[in-house]
Amino acid sequence: MDGISLEAQRTRIEAWAEATDASLVEVIEDAAVSGSRPLSQRVGGSRIAALLEQRAPKVDAVIITRLDRLGRNASETLGHLHRFASGKLGLVSILDRLDLTTPQGRAMAGVAAVFGQLERELIAQRTAESLARLQVEGKPYGAIPYGRRRDGDRLVVDHRQERVVRQIRALREAGNSFRKIADWLNGEGIRAKRGGAWSAMSVRSVCLTAARRDELAA
């Protein structure tokens, strides 16, 4: 969980089990795996997904510390919650204080899932804005964006790449899709940041980064 170590999560779950006199059969962990990945694509998460498929699971419930560990967004989380609520496997979310055995608990679970997604999106937005601010201030951080290069401990304009950025933005403003712009760049023999081919996503990234710089510099 973001901001809470695996050890802290394990401690919370063990404390809950002791307080409720529940038998803790196993602790499943997905170390160094982002919550943005679907449950079924995580090593530990896939075992939980498999339990949901069983008609007669050998455990009574799954205990988690917070709902945002269940899915990468509200839609996926709500889907899992529905399966828990309608199946034989129970679910307890300690920090959310949710009990899916009651209608009120199921309703609160849905609300918590929506707000969990909102929190992740706000964090992502703040991170993107912070990185853009550092770029405007000429401070290198993380991957160097297209149109900039590192000069010691500063970011400076790469004038050759910046001309390409202006071309990309002009093509976009003329109504061209990211895919069409990528095809044009590749056809002109213009290489992407790491020397490879352009994709629709890399063109989109250049446009978004340039737009954020404009907003913060205004």
**Per-block mean pLDDT, blocks of 10 residues, the chain (218 long):** 70 88 85 70 85 86 81 72 77 78 61 60 65 61 76 83 94 94 95 89 89 70
Tell me the residue type at 25: V
**Amino acid letter at 170?**
A
Contact indicator for 113, 71 with CB cutoff of 8 Å: yes
**Per-residue buried b or exposed e for 174-204, using 16+ beta carbons within 10 Å of the residue's own CB:** eebebeebbbbbeeeebebbeeeebbeebbb
Residue-level pLDDT at 1:
41
Domains identified in the chain and CATH numbers: 6-125 (3.40.50.1390), 137-217 (no CATH)
Q: The pTM is what?
A: 0.44
Q: What is the Cα–Cα distance from 94 to 9, expressed in whole angstroms?
A: 10
Q: Between vectors from CA 209 to CA 208 and to CA 210, what angle results, nearest 5°?
A: 90
Return the pLDDT at 86: 73
pLDDT at 178: 94
Q: Quick one: pLDDT at residue 190? A: 95
pLDDT attached to residue 175: 93
CA dihedral 21, 22, 23, 29 (to 10 degrees): -130
